[in-house]
Amino acid sequence: MNAAQGLHRAGSARRAWTIGALTVAAALLGACGSRAPAPTQMDLGPVAAWPQQAPLAKRVELQGLSAPETLQGTGIAYRLADSDPYARRVYRDSRWAAPLPVLVAARMRQQIARAPVAAGADPQVVIGVSLELEESLQSFSSASRSEVQVRVMATAEDGTQRAFDRSEPAGGNAEGAVKATAAAVDALAPEIAAWAATLSPRTPAPRGRR
């Protein structure tokens, strides 16, 4: 093999390597360009004002909020009640910014803490209440019509319990579900606080003699 043939083969090898490298780079860039964007982080928005003309008979304090495992993630859940009522799905492109129980607890705690107390009420008397978020789910009756149901069990310090339930229209997407969830929570907080404020505070246990 003469020198000219050697140089020709070397040049061909370099061109083949360069073309191959460019092909791989283009494929990688294409894969990066087609990668789905990160899901939108959603929360319940600004805290709503307390309803006018709705002072509480006693101060109320939210002591805690629990929830089942199905509500502990950040997925915004929905159900196709019209076509597949046994499957619980979550949106791909939208997520809660934090687990929903965390968002609901923070919102209700702020709302109740801002609630006015009726004139003449003893400011030292506080009714503690704990909540369990039993369900929050968007249910579709058609492709464009759905509602969000939020269900809460409230337990006062004396053991008295009451269930609260609220449904709000939610349209046909995740944004509608988020807005409906916020509206349901905003409606439930005054109801729960007004109920708790009618209860008697827990009587401290008497101390034994030393």
Report whether 178 contacts 76 (CB < 8 A): yes
Of 47, 174, 178, 190, residue with least CA distance to 112: 190
Distance from C-alpha of 154 to C-alpha of 190, rounded to nearest angstrom: 13
Q: How do the pLDDT tens digits run along the chain, 210 residues long?
A: 554 444 445 455 455 454 454 454 545 555 555 677 899 999 999 998 998 888 999 999 999 999 999 999 999 999 999 899 999 999 999 999 999 999 999 999 999 999 999 988 888 899 999 999 999 999 999 999 999 999 999 999 999 999 999 999 999 999 999 999 999 999 999 999 999 999 988 655 555 554
Distance from C-alpha of 4 to C-alpha of 81, rounded to nearest angstrom: 76
Count how many Cα atoms sit within 13 Å of the Cα of residue 93 in the half-sphere of its side chain. 6
pTM of the model: 0.80
DSSP state at residue 117: B
